[in-house]
Amino acid sequence: MSDILGRTGPNVHIYRNVTIGRDVTIGDNTIIYENVEIGDGCFIGPNCILGEPLASFYHEKHYENPPLRIGRNSIIRSESVLYAGSTIGDGFQTGHKVTIREQSQFGSHCRVGTLSDIQGHVNIGNYCRFHSNVHIGQKSTIKDYVWIYPYVVLTNDPHPPSECIQGPTIDEYAVIATGAIIMPRVKIGRDSLVAAQALVNKDVPPFQVVAGVPAKALCSIRDIRCKEGKLENPYPWRNHYSKGYPWQDGYDNAEGSSHPNPPGSSDHDLRPTNL
């Protein structure tokens, strides 16, 4: 099936002022609105919409679509909708049916799983991984190397509905497990772990594990053991997990990253498994 690669499928609809790099694949029925820029080597799946117009399109007579930029070697899977007005780094990957609204900034090498819903006006670092069905509210800040698991929601309104919108901040290497809800303005510290189904309504210190509704401090991440005994210390996870990270086979893999010196690279905790 490799003859699909680098081609444009049937019934693709491309509007004016679209820039498409070299070796780009565009799947059947995909729509690309005005002012979209797609980097070299991208794969855009079928039934995608790139450059979806903002809400003002429906009532502003002289609406102009703000630019959407997608970095090189990205894979956007089928039925994903990316709004106009966002900037996405190289090596980006999505699952299916992802929605990314306007004014989303993604660093390089991020992955956003199937059905995830990025509400826009967010700032996301490099090498972040969101699993399926993650919901990131507006005004959220997520730093490098963060993991977010299915059905996690980052909220932003302390007393809904209101105009007092302020999202959470998630620091480097933090892990937020399945179904957790992070309340507005909360800061999730570096290398911390939020347990599944937790409701986090106050700041989490670095290296802390929190759990429960509402979430309470449980222990240090260094106290966690692997019940199967396969790993002596599962946390910090970056000491044993390197799949797809710049510390995997040396930093050559990080080429194209907008982050030439990833935070992990100078960290004393960092012991790549393959070195």
Does residue 38 contact residue 19 with C-beta atoms inside 8 Å? yes
Query: Binder to a copy of itself among 127, 151, 207, 247 (CB under 8 A)?
Result: 151
Which two three-digit tokens encode residue 137?
A: 């509210």
Percent of residues in the chain assigned helix, strand, coil, to nearest 5: 10, 25, 65
Please identify which residue in 94, 108, 178, 192 interacts with a copy of itself, judged by CB under 8 A: 178
232 forms part of the interface with a copy of itself (CB under 8 A): no
Told to check if 130 binds a copy of itself by CB under 8 A, we report no
Residue 214 or 260 with smaller CB distance to a copy of itself: 214
Q: Does 129 bind a copy of itself (CB under 8 A)?
A: yes
Q: Is 172 in the site for a copy of itself (CB under 8 A)?
A: no
> Is the peptide bond prior to 263 cis by the omega test (within 30 degrees of 0)?
no
Q: Compute the CA torsion angle 116, 120, 124, 126 (nearest 10 deg).
A: 60
Q: Which lies closer to a copy of itself via its Cβ, residue 21 or residue 234?
A: 234
- 243 CB neighbour count, 10 Å cutoff: 6
Site string for a copy of itself, 14-43 (x = CB under 8 A): -x------------xx-x-xx--------x
Q: Tokens in use for 149? A: 């698991």
Which residues between 51 and 110 bind a copy of itself (CB under 8 A)? Answer: 52-53, 57-58, 61-65, 75, 78-79, 81, 95-97, 99
